[in-house]
């Protein structure tokens, strides 16, 4: 049993040693005097995350004074500190600021609600007058349309009486005749209105007391 196992190991050793070995050799870490690993920032092969204040902060947090890192150098500069404070105020407001914002929003919503209710109450108060005006305008429009239709029928009847019943009311000539009668009718109504106004002014002048009369 031992002879076959020995032959197998010998065969494996011969196959392994006949293959070329890897040529990679990792560089040894640079350890400081305190036993803390600190990469050389001047080495071009040093990674970016092994350079800078963040890595030094990790070293100081892990090894303390043994890291030989100056904690004052880790503290942000005044302008960076102001920037961080401004960012904190914007994205992480205090409880008082959040409560003030909530109260301001509630006041704004209450104001809008009050204005809306006041507008609704004002419109409801105006509703009866608006409805009455709408009904009056509707009655006046109907009355005007009825009077216009009556006047139009009267002009058509007058045109038929003047130019003959046999004329087609849809013809162009008949429509032109109706328009001429319509112009004449408007002219007569205008003249009648002027005479009525003149008569009214004369009547007022006659009823007025003379100057100096008791």
Q: Where are the alpha helices (DSSP H) in the chain?
A: 2-18, 53-63, 71-74, 78-91, 95-163, 172-207
CA distance 32 to 173: 118
Q: Given phi > 0 = left and psi -120 to 50 = alpha, else beta, which region is 3?
A: alpha
Burial of 162 (0-12, 13-18, 19+ CB in 10 A): exposed
**Phi, psi (degrees; rounded to nearest 5) at 31:** -100, 135
Separation CA 98–CA 133 (nearest Å): 51
Under 8 Å between Cβ of 57 and 63: no
pLDDT at 2: 55
Q: Are 67 and 36 in contact (CB under 8 A)?
A: yes
Q: Where are the domains of the chain?
A: 30-75, 98-196
- pLDDT tens for the chain, residues 1 to 214: 556 666 766 666 665 555 455 555 555 555 554 567 777 777 787 787 787 778 888 888 888 877 778 888 888 788 888 888 888 888 888 888 889 989 999 999 999 999 999 999 998 898 998 899 999 999 999 998 998 888 777 777 777 776 665 666 666 777 777 777 778 777 877 887 777 877 766 666 656 554 445 4
Q: What is the dihedral of CA 70, 75, 77, 80, to 10 degrees?
A: 150
pLDDT at 151: 76
CA 68 to each of CA 33, 48, 51, 58: distance values in angstroms, whole numbers, following the listed order:
10, 20, 15, 12
pLDDT of residue 211: 46
């Amino acid at each position: 049993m031992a002879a076959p196992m020995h032959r197998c190991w010998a065969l494996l050793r011969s196959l392994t040693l006949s293959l070329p070995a890897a040529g990679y050799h990792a560089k040894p870490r640079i350890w400081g005097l305190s036993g803390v690993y600190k990469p050389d920032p001047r080495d071009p092969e040093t990674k970016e995350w092994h350079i800078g204040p963040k890595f030094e902060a990790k070293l100081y947090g892990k090894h303390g004074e043994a890291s030989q890192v100056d904690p004052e150098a880790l503290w942000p500069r005044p302008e960076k500190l102001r920037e961080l404070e401004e960012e904190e105020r914007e994205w992480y407001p205090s409880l008082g600021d959040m409560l003030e914002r909530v109260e301001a929003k509630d006041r704004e919503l209450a104001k809008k609600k009050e204005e809306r209710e006041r507008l609704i109450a004002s419109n409801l108060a105006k509703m009866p007058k608006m409805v009455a005006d709408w009904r009056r305008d509707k009655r006046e429009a109907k009355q005007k349309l009825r009077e216009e239709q009556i006047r139009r029928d009267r002009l058509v009847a007058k045109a038929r009486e003047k130019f003959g019943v046999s004329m087609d009311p849809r013809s162009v000539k008949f429509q032109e005749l109706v328009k001429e009668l319509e112009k004449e009718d408007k002219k007569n109504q205008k003249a009648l209105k002027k005479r009525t106004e003149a008569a009214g002014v004369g009547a007022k002048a006659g009823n007025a007391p003379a100057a100096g009369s008791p």
